A and B are shown apart, each in its own frame.
Chain A
Amino acid sequence: MVLEVIVALPLAGWLINGLAGGRLPRGVVGAIGCGTVGAACAASVMAAGDPAVAGGGLTATLFTWLSAGEFTVSAGLFMDRLSALMALVVTGVGFLIHVYSIGYMADDPAYARYFAYLNLFVASMLLLVLGGNLLVLFVGWELVGLCSYLLIGFWFDRERAASSGRKAFIVNRIGDAGFLLGILLLATTAGNLQFDRLAAASGGMAPGLLTAATLLLFAGATGKSAQLPLYVWLPDAMEGPTPVSALIHAATMVTAGVYMIARLHPLFLHAGYTLSVVAAVGAVTAFFAATVALVEWDLKRVLAYSTISQLGYMFLAMGVVMMPAGMFHLTTHAFFKALLFLAAGSVMHAMRGVVDMRRLGGLAGPMRWTAAGFAVGGLALAGVPPFAGFFSKDLILEGAFEWAQRGGAMLVWIAGLATAFVTAVYVTRAMMLTFAGPAADPGHPHEAPAVMGLPMAVLAALSFGGGLLGARVAGEPLLRYLEPFFVDSAIGVLKDRPMPAAGVITALPVAVSLAGILAGFALYRDRREVTLGALGRFLSHQWYIETLYDAVIVTPAKRLAHLLADVVETRGIDGAVNGVGALVGRAGLAVRGLQTGFVRNYAAAILAGTILMLGYWLFR
């Protein structure tokens, strides 16, 4: 029962704010928006405390959703340790961001619509993480994509916002088409989409099929979690309101791909080289996005590329079979990246929407708390101990190193390490350009109101102390909690970890991060525009990946569409149809002379016909 309540609460908020929100006072709209999510958070805590969650999992089957032939899927919810963690992250971070939004969106005329969309998102995300089978997960998966579309294009009267939303939806759809095919493949071979049945069946499935299925599912994950090659929508998604970027495009929705792999890890473990692909994609994406973040001028887009990069880390963790570490990083990342976005939002709020870092600067003075929050988030992102990011990233890199020693590619670890360095550089750059130096824009920046400050404070605390969830000194409570879920996978790695070797390996990332911070400090101390020459041009064009897509896919597709619509359709197919018509018409013209209009001619013709018939009858 409690599971239904968790999902139903934000859904109710959506219905109320969506249908009647325009007629309600703002205070009530905000209260409904936040209250339902807060209540869902409380319900999630309650549910997570249920002993069934720690055991086999809490299930709630609502009704039979689809039934055709032998194939049956029920609409059901399910909560085990993994989804409990996700539900807590979603509702917890979600609640904080809802509260923040009350302040951030206070002046927006479409206040109710905003909260309705946000509530719908939380409900969809909860459906995604609490879905009892793969198809329900897919429903949530697509619905969060819808919410993302709606919220990116929230200010739909801006052409760019509308286009970005559409781009996000379509790119996600490309991934989802793969995801759907993966589901079809699994449904056809396993005959069922219940998670436990799939896990049980995965051992007996042909490895080739399983590899294909998991790769298809991973294609969906690259779309939703903005990995190469489908990352292109996430930077543009920054057109949406900043709290949305924090919630959807940093903390929760984009991590759905990671969650999906964790959820289906038995399949991925049995599926040949899929995990290697995942690791490689994660590593490349992490490095690629970090380098692009290095030259980006838009503060929010820096954070967007940073998100892509950090998601790359998570996939890297999944790929090297350090799944608990991936989930750990997912959690800490949700804290510190949400914090960074909210701080950036606070800056935008103060600067009336300016996000270009060349026009920012010197904000540390008037916006002390925001700057402090950004600094905490930045240090966590850079992986400086004892901030949260350090523990999770460190664990991932350790895992990558061990994976390499067990026969994996060392390049993955090296890429992770290089990314750590670049990350430290770009986060320092963003910090310096935004908050240090003289004020670049003569305005009257003001500190954010309390309703925005408080959520940031809570997130700052979590970004600072969240590492304890996975810190060895604290007994790794989160990892221990997840262990039973991953019992047949990464736990082996986790347990047999040779402690001594860890020394150097742990120290190296920290050193690299600190070096990065120092480098960033040295480079951007006096707000110089570091161009980096040809390399900089390469990076600021995002490695020319989108240019390539435009040239190879988008433009030819448009040309093809116009060719088909304007030539093949009108002149070819319809031309043939009209040609037949014209032919008949011309034949009619040819014989129309027979129709003289003289009745006597017609009568003569009738008589002639009669004669012929009579003659035939007589002389046959």
Chain B
Amino acid sequence: MMGLPMMTILIFLPLAAAIVVAAIDRKKTGALYGVGLAGSLAALALAAVVFVRFDPDQAALQFVERMAWIPSAGVSYHIGVDGISLPLVMLTAVIMPLALLSAWGSIAERIKEFVFSMLVLETALLGTFLAADLVLFYVFWEAVLIPMYFIIGLWGGPRRSYAAVKFILYTMTGSALMLVAIITLYLHSGPSLGARTFDLAQLRQLRVAMPLQAWLFGAFALAFAIKVPVWPLHTWLPDAHVEAPTAGSVVLAAVLLKMGTYGFLRFLLPLFPQATLQFAPLLSALAILGIIYGGIVSWAQPDVKRLVAMSSVSHLGLVTLGVFVMTVPAMQGSLLQMVNHGISTGGLFLIVGVLYDRTHSRLLGDYGGVAALMPRLAPLALIVVLSSLALPGTNGFVGEFLILLGTFRANPVYAALATSGVILSAVYLLWMYQRVMQGPVAVKERARMTDLTRREQWLFIPLIALIFWIGVYPSPLLRRSEASVRALVQDVRERGNAAHLASHESRVTSHDR
């Protein structure tokens, strides 16, 4: 398009800003944050252009850029966007400026390093969502860990090093296995595709015989499931969230977790359709367990951040369910719900951050009656809470309804069980809202509970606007994802079943390499 490598510019714009930040004097706080914000806002503007010019009727990748990177190893720099990655790219582009803005005034130490890390993180995230080559994807996927590790480990709470190490070890365990699977795929691609390649589009043609396909599926699924996190692989999440600074929590919840569910859609399903169909019931069952378990456990948390973190387990259980029931509405709902969860849970963490900046406490017991002291925060917080519990009219409902609709079509029992999440989310979120905002004023230092500053208000205004926009008029998003999702569902169903029939005459077996 226009001869400009739009996607490359989009990915590396934040990195360029990061380099500029590195050159700025560390005492100039305003300039550091200003450049960081400008970089991420520029990326947002570019992403918006992509969003507008995106052709909703096309299922394949658009804005494709492709060139050889390591030709001898079949690695290419292949990027592009389709209906599955577009919402997540938009989400990343929206959340990062907000996260940076939330840190402005909240993080006072090593600002330069912080802004630098955040911008590098944005580049890595955008790259993860736009890569169409397995090696490129893996590089970005792992690159995300590094800035996130530092964000938790340097600017986190008292147990930050435990949380950071747990986060990085847990997620790397999964991705190490994925790397093995990627290389195995590469080795198999030679005999049947003519030349060995890491290119996703070509690897999709590959038909891996069944026992091996199941193993590869398992390796990929584990890496993604840890990231999501699918129950019972979730325990790194509460620790990471509790210890991370606000901006880190926001990005972690809003975007990082979506890497897992995005991975399901982008890699797991198209690469291993047969294994997907075979293991979908297992993953659906885990997802439902996560919905219920996360909801119940959230209710009993004394720590606000931990509560919200556990609620993510529940919400992402629903997203995972939507992926694996393999119907068009459910998958579109899943995709939308990824965005919605980013907005609402990101918002919840921003609220917690605003409160934490004032009281330096995360315990529900230390709050109470905040609405009387912060009358501007209370309605904004309520809207975010309502969005998170999927009240109709807010974004959460649209996603949840579509997931449940698609799930019901595939399996009414799943849908009935998943609907319990609707009740549970109301239970724990309203419990939280009441403990923090309502009741007699129980905060110890009233004087510190000043209402939102102008900067803090601007954190919420975009989120609230998005909540209502997606809740009332989600068509722009749904329309752009429909073609790709439909193609994916059809592809997986056809090849999954066809492979089942033709597995004995498969051209690739596990011993030829």
Contact = CB atoms under 8 A, between A and B. Distances in A.
A569 B306 CA distance: 12
Given A66-B474, A143-B391, A177-B422, 11 more contacts: A18-B379, A69-B406, A135-B401, A138-B392, A156-B439, A159-B438, A159-B439, A162-B438, A184-B412, A557-B296, A561-B296
Contacts of B419: 177, 180-181
Given A177-B420, A573-B235, A67 B437 contact: no
Contacts of A577: 166, 170, 235-236
Given A181-B416, A184-B415, A581-B169, A68 B482 contact: yes
Contacts of A569: 235, 297
A19 to B, nearest CB: 10
B438 A156 contact: yes
A69 B293 CA distance: 30
B369 interface: yes
A616 interface: no
Contact of A173 (B393, B409, B422, B474): B422
28 contacts: A63-B475, A65-B475, A66-B401, A68-B329, A68-B333, A69-B328, A69-B329, A69-B332, A70-B328, A75-B472, A142-B397, A143-B392, A156-B372, A156-B439, A157-B369, A157-B439, A170-B426, A170-B430, A176-B422, A181-B416, A184-B404, A184-B405, A184-B408, A187-B405, A187-B408, A564-B293, A565-B299, A565-B300
Nearest to A139: B392
Contact of A185 (B379, B408, B472): B408
Interface string A576-587: 010001000000
Contact of A562 (B169, B300, B327, B379): B300
B177 interface: no
Nearest to A216: B416
Contacts of A561: 296-297, 299-300
A181 B415 contact: yes
Nearest to B479: A67
Interface of B: 166, 169-170, 232, 234-236, 293, 296-297, 299-301, 327-329, 332-333, 369, 371-372, 379, 386, 391-393, 397-398, 401-402, 404-406, 408-409, 412, 415-416, 419-420, 422-423, 426-427, 430-431, 434, 437-441, 472-475, 478-479, 482, 486
Interface string A138-181: 11011100100100010011110011001001100110110011
A125 B456 CA distance: 33
7 tightest Cβ-Cβ pairs between the two chains A and B: A69-B328, A565-B300, A162-B438, A139-B392, A561-B300, A68-B329, A156-B438
Interface of A: 18, 63-71, 75, 135, 138-139, 141-143, 146, 149, 153, 156-159, 162-163, 166, 169-170, 173-174, 176-177, 180-181, 184-185, 187-188, 557-558, 560-562, 564-566, 569, 573-574, 577, 581
Contact of A67 (B232, B391, B415, B475): B475
Contacts of A163: 434
A174 B420 CA distance: 8
B232 A573 contact: yes
Given A139-B393, A157-B369, A170 B438 contact: no
Choose among A70, A561, A566 the residue with the greatest number of B CB atoms under 10 Å from its CB.
A561
B301 A565 contact: yes
Contacts of B415: 181, 184
A181 B422 CA distance: 11
Contacts of B426: 169-170, 173
A65 B297 contact: no
A310 B420 CA distance: 30
- Tell me the interface secondary structure of chain B in the complex: helix
- Tell me the interface secondary structure of chain A in the complex: helix
A143 B393 contact: yes
Nearest to A566: B300
B440 A159 contact: yes
A135 B420 CA distance: 19
A67 B300 contact: no
Nearest to A22: B375
Nearest to B489: A69
A454 B130 CA distance: 66
Given A162-B438, A177-B423, A184-B415, A66 B393 contact: no
A162 B439 contact: yes
Choose among B329, B401, B420 the residue with the greatest number of A CB atoms under 10 Å from its CB.
B401
Contact of B478 (A68, A141, A174): A68
Given A67-B478, A68-B406, A188-B405, A174 B329 contact: no
B287 to A, nearest CB: 16
Given A68-B402, A156-B438, A63 B300 contact: no
A18 B382 CA distance: 13
A187 B409 CA distance: 9
A287 to B, nearest CB: 29
Contacts of B431: 166
A170 B427 contact: yes
Contacts of B398: 66
A111 to B, nearest CB: 13
A593 to B, nearest CB: 24
Contacts of B170: 577
Contacts of B169: 581
A185 B412 contact: yes
A560 B297 CA distance: 9
A153 B378 CA distance: 13
A585 to B, nearest CB: 11
Contacts of A71: 329, 405
